[in-house]
Amino acid sequence: MQLGIIGLPNSGKTTVFNALTGSNHETSAVSSGKLEILTATVNVPDQRVDQLSAIYKPKKTTYTSVTYNDIGGLDKGIGQGALSGQLRNALATSDGFLHVVRAFVDDKVPHPYNTVDPVRDVETLDGEFLLVDLLTVEKRLERLQEELKKGGKVDKRANEIETDVMQRMKACLEDGNPLRDLDLTEEEKKMVRGYGLLSLKPVIIIFNMGEKLQDPNEIITYDHQQAMIFGLQAQIEAEIAQLTGEDKEMFLEEYNIEEPGAARIIQASYHLMHIQSFFTVGPDEVRAWTIPVGATAPQAAGVIHSDLQRGFIRAEVVAYDDFMAANGDMNAVKAAGKMRMEGKEYIVKNGDILNIRFNV
Ligand SMILES: Nc1nc2c(ncn2[C@@H]2O[C@H](COP(=O)(O)OP(=O)(O)OP(=O)(O)O)[C@@H](O)[C@H]2O)c(=O)[nH]1
Ligand SMILES: [Mg+2]
């Protein structure tokens, strides 16, 4: 999963990046406003994997991972076509965005528009994204028209279907709403996937609260699909991310932080992106895997290896909670009738422990 950290200059993107990845990149009060993309891949913390690993004591424990890209250089004007190829590419390849907005007050840190106003800033970058998408959609509509005029080998039906989707998207954008609000079908989403539409991607809006923790939902009403508002004390969390063990515990307690922001944000991203984890266990490896919600057992098997999907016979399935209720004893799980044999139609659930039977 690729998450792009976006926001206006000096909003605290790099600070959030440091908080999420435990990196220590320089942040500065003088916004570079510069096109610079920082990348780091981190393990997705999952207590269930910790528990399974403690039981199996495997040679190897593998978590799923998420890649964060700190995308600097976005500001007013990108909607007028001022988006460079590199930026466009970084945005298009993101599975979702973490949109950082400045809510902290600090005279030492200049704001590009002078005053701290997180609601205005959310609307500013959102508005630019809608304009970028509108350009893309209008261009595509023109192309579809041209194709029809040219005649020849055009698939009229396909052209019609896509034109219809594009027109609905255009209307949505012109009404000032992100494309996420359209509730496109899976098929329609697939059709437009290649265009890198920005407002179609899920977003977590991170209010960088500074020292003062307040529920950002009291500051903004954000009534859109696949979107969440999140409060984060970025600078404090970035400092905590540098600590380990007891020091870390002490710090978290001092600031009254129950769970570090990194873990909360990852959970929220999974939820927003409709993805979930299943596990494989054994003496060699305990491992977490990511699949879309709704994936079948063979599809899950395919994430492990294409051979497992091709030669899929059945899956032995144990729910994580049932496994833990039996104190991590697979024989006890079986004796209690909690191990199920599932076939090709089975829809995998979050936290399933799978053993794939296959034959190639
Ligand atoms: N007081 C306070 N300052 C913060 C906080 N978070 C970030 N800053 C400061 O704000 C300034 C900008 O932070 P960065 O993380 O560099 O912001 P950015 O969005 O990456 O900036 P550019 O990449 O230059 O656009 C730095 O001086 C940070 O130390 C915070 O929670 N409280
Ligand atoms: Mg930065």
The pLDDT tens digits for 211-246 are 888 899 999 999 999 999 999 999 999 999 999 889
**pLDDT value of residue 282:** 95
Measured between alpha carbons, how far is 318 from 160 in angstroms, rounded to an integer? 46
21 lines ligand 1 (CB under 6 A): no
15 lines ligand 1 (CB under 6 A): yes
The continuous run of DSSP H or E covering 98 comes out as strand 96-102
The answer, yes or no, to whether residue 21 has pLDDT greater than 70, is: yes
Q: Find the range with the poorest average confidence among 21-25, 308-312, 324-328.
A: 21-25
DSSP state of 316: E
| Euclidean distance between the first and the last CA atom of the chain, given in angstroms as a whole number | 30
Q: Which two tokens stand for residue 112?
A: 């590009």
- Give the global pTM: 0.90
Q: Which two tokens stand for residue 280?
A: 């494989």
The pLDDT tens digits for 293-321 are 999 999 999 999 999 999 999 999 999 99
14 CA to middle of ligand 2, Å? Answer: 4
Q: Which two tokens stand for residue 205?
A: 């809006």
With contact defined as beta carbons under 8 Å apart, do 76 and 121 qualify?
A: no
DSSP bridge partners of 38: 70
Exposure string for 87-115, b = 16+ CB within 10 A, e = fewer: beebbeebbbbbbbbbbbeeeebebeeee
Which has the closest alpha carbon to 49: 60, 36, 41?
60
The answer, yes or no, to whether residue 31 has pLDDT greater than 70, is: no
The per-residue pLDDT of the chain, averaged, comes to 92
**pLDDT value of residue 26:** 82
The pLDDT tens digits for 250-289 are 988 888 888 888 888 888 888 888 899 999 999 999 999 9
7 CA to middle of ligand 2, Å? Answer: 9
The residue whose two tokens read 């407002």 is 199
157 CA to middle of ligand 1, Å? Answer: 51
Mutate which of 15, 18, 69, 105 for ligand 1? The one with the most ligand atoms within 8 Å of its CB, which is 15
Measured between alpha carbons, how far is 287 from 63 in angstroms, rounded to an integer? 6
23 CA to middle of ligand 2, Å? Answer: 13
106 lines ligand 1 (CB under 6 A): yes
136 lines ligand 1 (CB under 6 A): no
* Beta pairing class for 352-358 and 312-319: antiparallel
More confident residue, 262 or 350: 350
**pLDDT value of residue 33:** 59
7 CA to middle of ligand 1, Å? Answer: 11
163 backbone dihedrals φ, ψ, rounded to 5°: -60, -40
The continuous run of DSSP H or E covering 71 comes out as strand 65-71
The answer, yes or no, to whether residue 60 has pLDDT greater than 90, is: yes
Mutate which of 10, 16, 35, 99 for ligand 1? The one with the most ligand atoms within 8 Å of its CB, which is 10
Listed in sequence order, the residues at least 6 apart from 281 whose beta carbon sits closer than 8 Å to its beta carbon are 52, 56, 58, 287, 353
99 lines ligand 1 (CB under 6 A): no
Neighbours of ion ligand 2 (CB under 5 A): 13-14, 72
Residue nearest to atom 7 of ligand 1 (CA): 12
Q: What distances in angstroms separate CA 148 from CA 69, 156, 172, 268, one per listed residue?
A: 40, 7, 24, 43
Residue nearest to atom 30 of ligand 1 (CA): 210
- Looking from the CA of 63 toward its CB, the CA atoms found within 13 Å total 16
12 CA to middle of ligand 2, Å? Answer: 7
**pLDDT value of residue 30:** 62
For the chain, list the domains and their CATH numbers.
2-271 (3.40.50.300), 294-358 (3.10.20.30)
**pLDDT value of residue 343:** 97
